[in-house]
Chain A
Amino acid sequence: MSNVLTWGFLRYIGQRLAMAIVTLWALATMTFVFMRAVPGDPLTRTKEIPAAVRANLEQRYGLNKPLWKQYIIQMDRMFLHADFGESFRTVDRSVNRMIIENFPASATIGIFAMIFGTITGLGLGIIAALYRNSAIDRAAMLLCVVGIAIPSALIAYVVQYFLAVFPLVKLHVNQDYWFRPVGWGQFRDVILPGFTLSLGIITMMTRYMRSQMVDVAFAEFVRTARAKGASTFRVITLHQIRNAILPVVSLLGPIFVGAISGSLLIENVFGVPGLGAAYFNSISNSDYNVLMGLTVFYGGFFIVINLITDIVYGLIDPRIRFG
């Protein structure tokens, strides 16, 4: 690891950070263009707002300014003042407050899903690969196909019904010591939405890990290790898993950002006070500031996580050098 703290490494980080800012700016600009290109604006209603009232609202929100000016105002506020502005829909609520108040809930179920999903998925993938073509392997692969085929909406309802409603209504388990279908504020409330969210991660991890393990099993260094007389356990853990897991690590960043970015459906079904509803509403209401703010927030998160992934990748893979 002595290669880490070199000038090359620092220059690499610097370059990546500069790229990150350019990428974020490009993301913000594209978001601006696309959301303005969509028909309607934040003031489009089923019952149209009368012209005089609309004029007052446009003035208040600055929507009557030329587009390029609105663009400059938004970019300046966002990148130079770290302020995402106010929502047009939930009036008086700043996007910054929205993130502070509701991101923790999305992140909580995301982190739970991430940890549970990754551990379970890796485990299943390893076992399926070691017992290739056995009943366990087939069961794991069936689970993956089912996991991809069933829409997450249905999975959320199924999980809610069989793990909360059925036990409480039919089996009469004690309400205080069991999952409730809807609720937030206690640790038990994390499990159902977190578990539902983790199913996608498990599916992806299992398939990926299994195929990596199978690939590695026929690699020359594994054969060499066996030939040297290393124990089966040693071959599997030190040679096979360690090599198979490397490409999987690069998946963790995107999966993590995906997991914490709030699923409208899962949050809505289980009553999780996350950002999912706000994100969804911002799209259907053309709520420019919220849509832009959350996109840039998650985009920034994604870029940072990717950077960390690359660095970690360098730490665990001796073939990668910075500089």
Chain B
Amino acid sequence: MSGIERIEQVFRDLKRAESAAFMPYHAMGYPNRQASLEVIAALTEAGADLFEIGIPHSDPLADGPTIQSATYAALVGGTTVADCLQMVRELRAQGVGKPFCAMSYYNPILAYGEERFVADAAEAGIDGLIVPDLPPGESELLEPACRQAGLATIYLLAPTSTEERIQAVTRHATGFVYLVSVTGITGAREELPSDLLGFVKRVRRHTDLPLAVGFGISTGPQAAKVAEIVEGVIVGSALVKAAGSASGIAAVRTLAEELAVGSHTAVASDQKRQ
């Protein structure tokens, strides 16, 4: 089964269960190598359906303070791109079977070699790629390489995206489409934007792919709200913050369980396409 198919399978199964996917992000190498592996294991037990495997970069310009400082700490701890792929191999060997989407800024991939990165990532057990600073128009080499290796190319859309951009981006997307809930950077927020449903509807007009919403989600009730209107709930900063807290893994587990329940108990509402 290819990475794209494995991602599709997850969304198909959840749709049957009338549930949305809980999709946690973690910054690999944070708070250290071993602990980041334990975080993924804890998230798995808590009910994660798909992972975003964060590869650290020195200049994460789409990220807020929480992920900035976590990825910076991971870099200071010596985490490399090759390490992240090696951690993926180890997680696969431990039996973690859910899809992994690598989330990396473009330059580390470019430095690694785009085709080589895709080949190594696929071999390690990565199923899809999210590169926040690489819009489809700039992806001439990476996208064909992903196609060939069966990896999903997951692109982002934002509330500012015009109809033309939505059309262009969804044409290139496979696996799912990542909707940025707010015009802004990553980070927990008190409230979800009021116009989220309108944004989701605008995107639905152009694609049948599953939609996942990220940026700003930090609680079970928020996750449940998002799960009512889309197929996936992405949580990053809140979990990363928990991983870096004094109670570490225990805090991750507690929050992840809450978020998984929020994502999974949502009944498919009329808003979702049948």
Instruction: Decide whether A and B are members of one complex.
Output: no
Chain A residues in the interface with B (C-beta under 8 A)? none
**Chain B interface (Cβ within 8 Å of chain A)?**
none
